[in-house]
Amino acid sequence: MASKKPCPNAFMMFTMEWKAKYGKQLSISQATTEAGNIWKNMNVQERGPYNERAKAEKLRMRKCREKLTCVGTPISEIQRQKLEQEKEQKQIKRTIEQTVRSSKKNGELEHKVYFFIAVNYFSKTLDGGIYIPAELSICEYSLKQGVIRTFHTFINPGVKMYGHQLEAQQHADTTHGLPLPPNAMGDRNLGNIYNAVLKFLSSNDDYPSLYTSRECIHIVNSVLNFLKSDVGAKNASLNIYSIQYLFYVMKEATCDQGELEKPKTFHITDAYFERDYFEYQIGIACQFHEDKDRGKYCTQSLVTRWGYMFSDYMCKDIAVSLIPGRHVPQKTNLEAIASTGCGDTKSLVSLATTSKSSYENADSKLHYDDHETTVSFPNDTKKCWDDNFPTGARKKIPLLADQDSEAPSSKKDYLGEYYSVLTEDVRPELNPWASRSFRPEPSPPADSNFNKPSNRKTDQDTDAVSLYSFGRGRPLPNINIFNTNSSSSRHGRLS
């Protein structure tokens, strides 16, 4: 904790004043000794002005003294850092908006290239909060071409994580599953990895911005700084921005260009982005994670899925044709997507949900799965379920009004007849509600021993024989077990 500055008292003020007038050539200790001898001979009236000045100085320092936290950090410093972070976030949002709007203004909205980045780490150090990198992937994407190319590499930091081994092992077991250092996979030359990243981004020194998840911006910055600190790495900085806000701004731009309704708030696009419909898509992760069945944690799979989500949510707004393997998974049935009757603002993958609105807005339901894409139509001609119902005496379930002219005219009548058929007492083995009347009633319980009539005379005779034979509800026999011939000098004792 930072030490507090001492407040000068009256004697210290007198000493400094006396030294300034009469003892300029003396040291502090000598001036204090001489001023102390004079201070002893001063009366209360002479010391009064110095006491008043000391009180005023104490009040002034108390007002000006900076408030500190429990660890000694000034509160003003924390507030200053908070304001700087807010200012930085506003600047990032302004930069993203200018990038997207300028591309839209120049007619290059679907051709504008963006780079997505994702990293995996082993652990976080206690000193400095540095993240030890394990894996890194970058994806080049545009609305017109989809996922153009990807960069993926494992990273071997080459350091033994003393004190972090258990934490790193637990993190690896629950996420990426990569082996820990010194047995980690990948290149040990961190400078070469950073230079390869810069070469992938641009052939010249003008490097574009990178986009990652809002919650992982500080992790990506830490990993890139860790790589850049190695010998041989170029001294070039990269800007990391929020991909969620880019998702929102691009959706606004595509809706504006397609003359569609824009999302009212960024919370709508954030909710869609967090769903991650392609989370369990196979064939887009690295070979290691595919073999370990941990493709969802692979950084290459993550950046590719981000590209698929951008395409799924925005390409139809501006009439961009989907390319399998770039905009959507490789085995996607594009003919089924073209035949859907959903609006341009609806997501193609969202048709796979079972919500009521999906069936109202589309005649078909689209499923993305690992091996194939199937389309099921609700109006398919299928065998009615009551044809496979167990044989026996039963009524036929009524059909809808458009299928049978003799069906009930209203939906209420139809539902009433429908449920009356289900609950009708025709076959007990098929109707559990009707079978209750066939269940045998349980027999009444046997009489309790307490309900049996008792012979009071017999009980009293028995009680007279034994002192401990009286039971529940029986009167205690009037028998004196104490000897009444005890001596008066020995009270309370038996003879």
Q: Is residue 451 part of a domain?
A: no
Which stretches in the chain have pLDDT values below 70?
A: 1-6, 63-66, 336-495
- Write down the pLDDT at residue 469: 42
Whether residues 164 and 246 share a domain: the answer is yes
In this structure, the strands spanning 114-124 and 210-212 are parallel
Whether residues 34 and 99 share a domain: the answer is no
Q: Is residue 339 part of a domain?
A: no
Distance between CA atoms of 120 and 180, rounded to whole angstroms? 12
- Write down the pLDDT at residue 420: 55
pLDDT digits (tens, 9 = 90+) for 328-339: 998 887 776 665
- Write down the pLDDT at residue 15: 87
DSSP states of 370-404: SS-EEEE-TT-----GGGGSPPSS-PPPPPPTTT-
The domain tally of the chain equals: 2
Whether residues 174 and 48 share a domain: the answer is no
Q: Are 261 and 255 contacting, i.e. CB atoms less than 8 angstroms apart?
A: yes
Whether residues 222 and 285 share a domain: the answer is yes
Q: Is residue 444 part of a domain?
A: no
The strand pairing partners of 117, in sequence order, are: 138
Q: Are 227 and 193 contacting, i.e. CB atoms less than 8 angstroms apart?
A: yes
Whether residues 30 and 96 share a domain: the answer is no
pLDDT digits (tens, 9 = 90+) for 82-127: 999 899 889 999 999 999 999 999 999 999 999 999 999 999 987 7
- Write down the pLDDT at residue 113: 95
- Write down the pLDDT at residue 18: 87
Whether residues 150 and 59 share a domain: the answer is no
Whether residues 283 and 213 share a domain: the answer is yes
- Write down the pLDDT at residue 493: 44
pTM: 0.60
Whether residues 180 and 52 share a domain: the answer is no
- Write down the pLDDT at residue 116: 97
Question: Taking the CA of residue 32 as centre, how many other CA atoms within 13 Å lie in the half-sphere pointing to its CB?
Answer: 6
pLDDT digits (tens, 9 = 90+) for 292-350: 999 999 999 999 999 999 999 999 999 999 999 999 998 887 776 665 544 444 555 54
| CATH number of the domain bearing residue 248 | 3.30.420.10
- Write down the pLDDT at residue 338: 60
Q: Is residue 100 part of a domain?
A: yes
Q: Are 321 and 351 contacting, i.e. CB atoms less than 8 angstroms apart?
A: no
Provide the domain limits for residue 58: 10-64
- Write down the pLDDT at residue 53: 87
Whether residues 91 and 140 share a domain: the answer is yes
Smallest CA-to-CA distance from 221 within 112, 128, 84, 126 is with: 128
Whether residues 173 and 109 share a domain: the answer is yes
Output b/e per residue, 262-279; b: 16+ Cβ within 10 A. ebeebeebeebbeeebbe
Helix, coil or strand: residue 144: coil
- Write down the pLDDT at residue 320: 92
Instruction: Report the phi/psi class of residue 151: left, alpha or beta, with left for phi > 0 and alpha for psi in -120 to 50.
Output: beta
In the sheet that holds 114-124, the strands lie side by side as 146-154, 131-142, 114-124, 210-212, 240-242
Residue 257, class by beta-carbon neighbours within 10 Å (0-12 exposed, 13-18 middle, 19+ buried)? middle
**Location of structure tokens 């990807």:** 150
